[in-house]
């Protein structure tokens, strides 16, 4: 596990990936890659509120499908170092109801029956289907959810490079459940992809990891939340995303939906949306929190606290001597870090 990802300024728009590629027979060879590679697609952008240059650039910034400003170091951690993540904070009040996160650890297995009573959740790196024996060691034991066999990613970060096939595929959030109508579906497996649901009329005292919506008139309402990573990073302000002058915008979307399956709270600025005082944040190993604002559609927003999706587990990778380069529980460098 001495493999690592490095973004390097080798000419305009180049990245070098130092890892093993996979086919059905397992790891094949090491190879460099262009800036458009299986896990990050850098696209030139223009900042929302400005003028579309009409050259194929993508709109980015607050309320778009690429709303979250990140640094290259944060980007490397988000795409390549984080193994698991879950929500640790989030509340809001709207006219007629309040929502809050029941902030407990989620199930150990990454996938559960989503519409179980009182709640279910899906997140991160899990794969379904029949794996060839050469890839078997990269995943944990199989378990069954909704009559489908699933396996969670194991201890090697190399597994994240395994592409989908006709026999097996990575979990991606089904964002249609919140009527996104094609807006920013997940296209890449990620520790930050997730989908969670809470059943209406459940007993909150029995709840586990879930967002719970309390009606002011009494009782609870069905609630779902989802986050999808698009695999796109849009940049502005320079000729290359690797230029220090460039600003990078992560392609990510968060939504909350009610019993009526209307998107009422999210990072994408839909028609009639209203900017709130609440943000969506990713929390990384160094404590940094790249963020973007959230918008409310429907009943009037009154107050809330930021929604924080926090990295909780990391891959160790390795130093040049084969020792772990990062602590798997904190994500912080150990043994001199990856350069040792």
For residue 272, tell me if it sits in a domain. yes
The reply to whether 330 falls in a domain is no
Number of domains in the chain: 1
| Residue 38: predicted pLDDT | 60
Query: Is residue 310 situated within a structural domain?
Result: yes
User: Taking the model in full, what pTM does it have?
Assistant: 0.87
**In the prediction, which pLDDT does 200 show?**
78
Residue 336 falls inside a structural domain: no
The torsion of the CA quartet 312, 318, 319, 320, rounded to 10 degrees, works out to: -170
> What's the whole-number mean pLDDT along residues 3-32?
41
Q: Provide the pLDDT for residue 15.
A: 37
User: With 60 as the cut, is the pLDDT of residue 230 above it?
Assistant: yes
Residue at 181 is within a domain = yes
Over residues 209-224, mean pLDDT: 81
Does residue 105 fall inside a structural domain?
yes
CA distances in angstroms from 62 to 78, 126, 292, 301, 332, listed in the order given: 19, 30, 6, 18, 30
pLDDT for 73 equals 93
Say whether pLDDT at 31 is over 90. no
Q: Give the pLDDT confidence of 284-317 residue by residue, as tens digits.
A: 999 999 999 999 887 788 899 999 999 999 999 9
- Indicate whether 281 pLDDT > 70: yes
Q: Which pair of tokens denotes residue 87?
A: 């929500």
Q: What percent of the chain has pLDDT over 70?
A: 83
Average pLDDT on 220-240 reads 89
319 within a domain of the structure (yes/no): no
Reduce the DSSP state of residue 135 to 3 states and report it: helix
User: Whole domain around residue 160: which residue ranges?
Assistant: 4-314
Is residue 340 domain-resident?
A: no
Helix, strand, coil percentages in the chain from 3-state DSSP, rounded to 5? 10, 45, 50
Radius of gyration of the chain (CA): 20
């Amino acid at each position: 596990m001495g493999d690592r990802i490095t973004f390097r300024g080798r000419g305009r728009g180049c990245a070098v990936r130092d890892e093993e590629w996979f086919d059905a027979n397992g790891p094949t060879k090491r190879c460099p890659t262009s800036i458009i590679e299986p896990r990050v697609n850098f696209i030139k952008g223009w900042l929302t509120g400005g003028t579309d240059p009409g050259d194929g650039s993508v709109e980015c910034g607050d309320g778009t499908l690429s709303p979250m400003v990140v640094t290259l170091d944060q980007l490397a951690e988000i795409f390549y170092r984080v193994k698991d993540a879950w929500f640790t904070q989030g509340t809001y009040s709207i006219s007629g109801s309040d929502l809050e996160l029941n902030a407990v650890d989620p199930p150990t297995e990454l996938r559960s029956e989503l519409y179980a009573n009182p709640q279910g959740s899906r997140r991160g790196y899990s794969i379904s289907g029949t794996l060839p024996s050469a890839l078997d060691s990269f995943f944990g034991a199989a378990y069954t959810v909704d009559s489908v066999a699933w396996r969670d990613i194991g201890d090697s970060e190399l597994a994240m490079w395994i592409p989908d096939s006709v026999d097996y595929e990575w979990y991606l959030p089904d964002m249609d459940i919140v009527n996104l109508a094609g807006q920013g579906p997940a296209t890449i497996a990620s520790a930050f992809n997730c989908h969670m649901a809470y059943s209406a009329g459940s007993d909150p005292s029995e709840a586990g990891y879930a967002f719970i919506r309390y009606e002011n008139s009494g009782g609870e309402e069905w609630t779902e939340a989802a986050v999808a990573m698009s695999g796109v990073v849009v940049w502005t302000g320079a000729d290359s995303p690797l230029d220090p002058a460039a600003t990078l915008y992560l392609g990510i979307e968060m939504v909350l939906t009610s019993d009526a399956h209307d998107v009422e709270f999210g990072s994408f600025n839909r028609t009639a949306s209203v900017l709130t005082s609440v943000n969506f944040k990713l929390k990384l190993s160094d404590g940094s929190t790249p963020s973007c604002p959230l918008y409310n559609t429907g009943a009037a927003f009154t107050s809330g606290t930021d929604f924080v999706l926090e990295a909780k587990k990391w891959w160790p990778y390795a130093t040049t001597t084969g020792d772990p380069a990062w602590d798997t529980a904190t994500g912080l460098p150990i043994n001199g870090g990856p350069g040792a």
